[in-house]
Amino acid sequence: MPATLSPAVTVSAPLHAATPATEAPWSGFTKGLFRFVFLYFVLQIVPLDWHYYYDLAVNWSGFSFGDIFRLAHYSPRFFDGPDTFANWAVVAALAAVGAAAWSWVGKSRPDYATLYYWLRVLVRYRLAAGLLGYGFLKLFPMQAPLPSLSLLNTHYGELSDWKIFSLSLGIVPSYQSFLGLVEILSAVLLLGRRTASIGAFLSISFLGNVFLSNLAYEGGEYVYSFYLLALALVVLWYDARRVNDLLTLERPAVPNRFRLALPAGWQRAARRTLKGGFVLLFVGLYGVKTYAAYQRGPYHYPQTPGLPNAAGLYNVREFRLAGQLRPYSATDPERWQDVVLEQWNTLSVRSARPVVLYHSTTESIHSQDPARSYEFAGSGGRHYYAYQLSPDGQTLTLRNRNPLEGTDTLTLRLTRPTARTLTLTGTDAQGRDLQVVLEKRDKKYLLEEATKTGRRGGLKL
Amino acid sequence: MSTTSFVAQPTPTVPVATADRSGYAPPPAKATPARRPWKPWQRVLFRVAFPFFILMSLPSDLGWYKNLASIDWLHGHYRDVYDLARFSPSFFLKGGGEGGAPALLGYGNWFIALGLALLIGLVWTLLARKREEYEVLYYWLRVIVRFRAGIGIIGFGFTKVFPTQMPYPSIGLLNSDFGDMTAQKIFWLQIGIVPWYQVFTGVVELLAGVLLFFRRTTFLGAALLLGALGDIVFVNFAYDGGVHVYSSYFVLLAAFLLVQDVPNLYNLLIRERYTVPYHYYPRFKETWLRFTRLGLKVATIGIFLVYLTYLEYLNFTFDPYKQPAQKGVAELRGLYNVAEFRLNGRVLPYSPLDSVRWQQATFEKWTSFTYKVNRAHQLDLSNGGGSPMRDINRTFETTGLAGGQRVFYYDADPQTHTLYLQSKVLTGKAGRRGQARAKLEDNAQVRYRASLASWIPADAQARIGDETHAIHPAAWSTRRERGIKTEQKPEQRDRMTLTYRTTDGGRHVVLRGLIEQKDSLYVVLSRVDRTYTLSESALSAGQYETVEQPR
């Protein structure tokens, strides 16, 4: 049986690939386009914004993982507020002006193969840094933490799309690590010239999903994830044609023939040093730092420890406001329905009083407790208070964590008549007398129980 | 078992190759390049791989052929075609995952296939030692695997393209605590809350499948399939999703399809060498062969893309398979607080700790009623899938959910304003779906009718009507007709008979009647108008709004 599908197709097109595009002189159009693309991406990648350096200098707390993360999270911003594609438009305008000027002064070059090489280097490393920044936060599963007790006791419909997205990832640390591993693997592949396209292909699959998730779940990183996606496309573009030749068109494919000539010894040394430095900072040091942070516990929740042996869900057995006993109620806006004490110094109250919703949909790493908003961001149904215990251990000062809920402060005397009971007496935010008796409940969470026994046994709960 | 080759790097100045449009032929042997012998290990590997992938890719389950034979193509149901697309090797073991304790994590059948393949490979090697290559067989094996994987993933993908696989949460689920769900539930709901994202994931699967139908796009399709399904395998392990075996199946097939081109890619990108792909393709000389090939391809695309699109559209619009299809009583729909609760005449005050008194209640837009109470009960921890035809067996709103939410299916008698409610979770000791089927269907039907007669009065039964025709006529199918009959069998379920009355223009609902333990109940529900933090679904399955309730 002859091995060709259809020799009837006699159109025997000369093989373009035999004369590699990299070696032919570039057309005027290609050169013009390249000037624009080059400037555009250089402006997108190289921080020319003094704010960037100022922020780094001022907020640098000494190679903490948060610092390195911010270092890897740059994209140029010309407008205040949330990141928008308007920033891209400004960059594009600047690049267009620059490209026009460049075309005016320099026309003689046959091509920009060397510059293209360097642009690709820049893009590869920028992309790798971005991927590593998030990759390690996932590898050591911190980006999406396990749900707090309060969040476990929040109605599904009270959570924002983005919060649900994060929590759903948070409940499976192993999967989060896997995603982190994929990100890190893509980044590492991007660091090698020959493996860059494979890394870029992997990144595109990954970042494409990240971008769409951000759009779909109302996340705040859709511009930034698209930015990384654009970088990955630039990297892949270089090899797209030959790969298409090989795989889709099934015709001979010409490999990359460009070799960077670095004649001087110091140039080669500089190249090695820079590469080594990059790996040391974003893989070595950042890896160690994020691992250490993982050991310390989730950075999304406050660090100050809460009352000892108190964490749990509490029934509000008795509730007196201004001397008046309020019975259990699903509708009374003032009566507390249940209370959660976290391992840290958060007390959250479920009540019918509506929550002013606070949103936080971008990844930010805060070192101070008051700025750590994860537990209440995008979550209704409960009011979150940070509490402080007086030195004598008898008085709790509760302050609403949510900045949108106003200065809601309660000072309450604490007693613990039994191991499972807490009483709080004092005044509420309006200065009325408040007396509350809390009783710990033996709440079993299906999320945990089903993990213990497996889903197949069947459970009664 | 590489049938590809790369040639040594030519000097760049010499024009190296001319190729025709299907140009896998390196010059100068343009017409018939000599077949190259394979390495011995490649031949041995192929003799095992060939039977293995054949066993994996062709349906070995008698039920598959039964289904094929029983399809009523004129009155089709998405599940008819879906079942054609969704088979995995089953020899002696039932497929893993959902059903019982699986052998070897559910991968048992793979090992059986491998064992058989090793045996066949051994015999084959003993018999045919002279053969130097298997390009023809390899080509056809790839065709089989390509179409198997393509069809399978399309079947999977379509339930997401028309987002029915992960429904948007019911009101009852929206008002359940996050911690009262299984990980599996949480993951599925996460996809369910954004139908457009679900559509996207479906499109990716569909695209991968379509790309596999064409040999030139096979690599891209397989790479996409490997990436997407590799992720799903991990998701299934992490969230205990129960379909890790079937998703790994696609990873395996995709990996096999990639094998042919990976050496070429490596040569081109990593070694940076000039690479000439060479793939064997058969040429059909005879007309009938050409037409057979064309016919098979057109039939595949016709059934699994065109016809299935139509069926999935019907399913999404009128009969979304995971959520009930019949409309609920329109005036009752919504979330309620329980303002008053009397049991046997005695008033019980609201308490989140009470084991009898209801705390909240919901009427869905379909035929479900939920109440919440602080009492442990038997849970259904399956993933709410399968292919139930009866609304009572569509349990997505209650599976994987605790927290005292009890979900009931109801038949409403519009004349007497009576609801006949049955618990969605079976109360018998085998509290699972898919129990052993009654051997004699007719017998089961008789017993079912008898059990109904003792419970729902005949005149009410007549007014409620037959469930089979309770959906839009366009979505009626032979499979539904048969399925509803088979699923009608007496079961142990908690039952309530309640009359309803709305007051204050629908602000309140009064329910009275007998509940599970034959206690008399009188409750006043007061409507809660609440907005959710979670964004509402912009794309919802089913039709519950258009038709007025019959009087």
A262: closest CA of chain B, how far (Å) = 19
Residue A152: which of B179, B353, B535 has the nearest Cβ? B179
Tell which residue, B190, B211, B273, has the closest CA to residue B6. Answer: B273
Match 């023809």 to its residue by tokens: B136
How far is B123 from chain A, CA to nearest CA, in Å? 27
* Closest of B161, B160, B190 to residue B173, by C-alpha: B190
In whole angstroms, what is the distance from residue A13 CA to residue A117 CA? 30
Give which of B9, B18, B177 to mutate to test A binding, by max A Cβ within 10 Å.
B177
Q: What is the mean pLDDT of residues A433-447?
A: 96
d(CA B157, CA B160): 5
Q: Which of A251, A379, A460 to mutate to test the interface with B (most CBs of B within 10 A)?
A: A251
Q: Are A184 and A206 in contact (CB under 8 A)?
A: no
Number of Cβ within a 10 Å radius of residue A283: 18
Minimal C-alpha gap between A388 and chain B (Å): 27
- Six-digit token pair at A54? 């100022």
Q: What is the pLDDT of residues B39-77, one digit of tens each?
A: 999 999 999 999 999 999 999 888 899 999 999 999 999
Note whether B19 contacts A5, CB cutoff 8 Å. no
| Nearest residue of chain A to residue B381 (CA atoms) | A455
- The confidence score (pLDDT) of residue B34 equals 54
- From CA A385, how far away is CA A207, in angstroms rounded? 36
The residue written with tokens 């921890």 in the block is B381
Q: Does A67 touch chain B (CB under 8 A)?
A: no
Phi, psi for A351 (deg, rounded to 5): -150, 170
Tokens 């039952």 correspond to B495
pLDDT at A351: 95
Cβ B400–A450 below 8 Å, yes or no?
Answer: yes
- Do residues B401 and B173 lie in contact, with contact meaning Cβ atoms separated by under 8 Å? yes
Residue A167 to residue A173: CA distance in whole angstroms = 11
Residue in chain B lying closest to A242 (CA): B268
Whole-number pLDDT of residue A270: 94
CB contact under 8 A, A456 and B100: yes
Question: A-contacting residues of B 430-489, CB under 8 Å?
Answer: 431-432
A10 neighbourhood in chain B, CB within 8 Å: 20
Q: For A15-69, how does the pLDDT look when each residue is reduced to its tens digit (9 = 90+)?
A: 434 444 446 788 889 999 999 999 999 999 999 878 788 877 887 777 789 888 9
Residues of B in contact with A12 (CB under 8 A): 18-20
As a whole number, mean pLDDT of residues A144-173 equals 97
Question: What are the structure tokens assigned to A429, written together?
Answer: 């935010």
Residue B18, token pair as written in the block: 């001319």
Q: Looking at the complex, does the CB of residue A389 fall below 8 Å from at least one CB of chain B?
A: no
Beta strands at A421-427 and A395-400: parallel, antiparallel or unpaired: unpaired
Q: Tell whether the model's pLDDT for residue B111 goes beyond 50.
A: yes
- Is any Cβ of chain A less than 8 angstroms from the Cβ of B11? no
A206 to chain B: nearest residue by CA?
Answer: B227
pLDDT at position B102: 63
pLDDT bucket at B428, cuts 50 / 70 / 90: low
Place B419 in a pLDDT band, splitting at 50, 70 and 90: very high
Position A195: which residue type? T
CB-based contact (8 Å) between A6 and chain B? yes
Q: In chain A, whose CA is at the least distance from the CA of B96?
A: A456
ipTM associated with this complex = 0.91
* Interface check B193 vs A, CB under 8 A: yes
Confidence band of B453 (pLDDT split at 50, 70, 90): confident
Residue numbers in A near B353 (CB within 8 A): 315
Q: Find out whether A90 and A78 touch, Cβ atoms under 8 Å.
A: yes
pLDDT in tens, B362-407: 999 999 999 999 999 999 998 888 889 999 999 999 999 999 999 9
Q: Cβ separation of B178 and A12 shorter than 8 Å? A: no
Q: Is the pLDDT of residue B339 over 70?
A: yes
**pLDDT (mean) for B316-329:** 94
- Read off the pLDDT of residues B81-91 as tens digits, 9 standing for 90 and up: 999 998 888 77
- On whether any CB of chain B is under 8 Å from the CB of A397, the answer is no
Cα separation, A406 vs A273, in Å, equals: 52
CA dihedral B394, B397, B403, B408 (to 10 degrees): -50
**CB proximity A15 to B under 8 Å:** yes
At A351-386, the pLDDT tens digits run 999 999 999 888 888 888 999 999 999 999 999 999
| A18 or A399, greater pLDDT | A399
- What is the separation, in whole angstroms, between the first and last Cα of chain A? 67
The average pLDDT across B457-470 equals 92
**Distance from C-alpha of B233 to C-alpha of A112, rounded to nearest angstrom:** 44
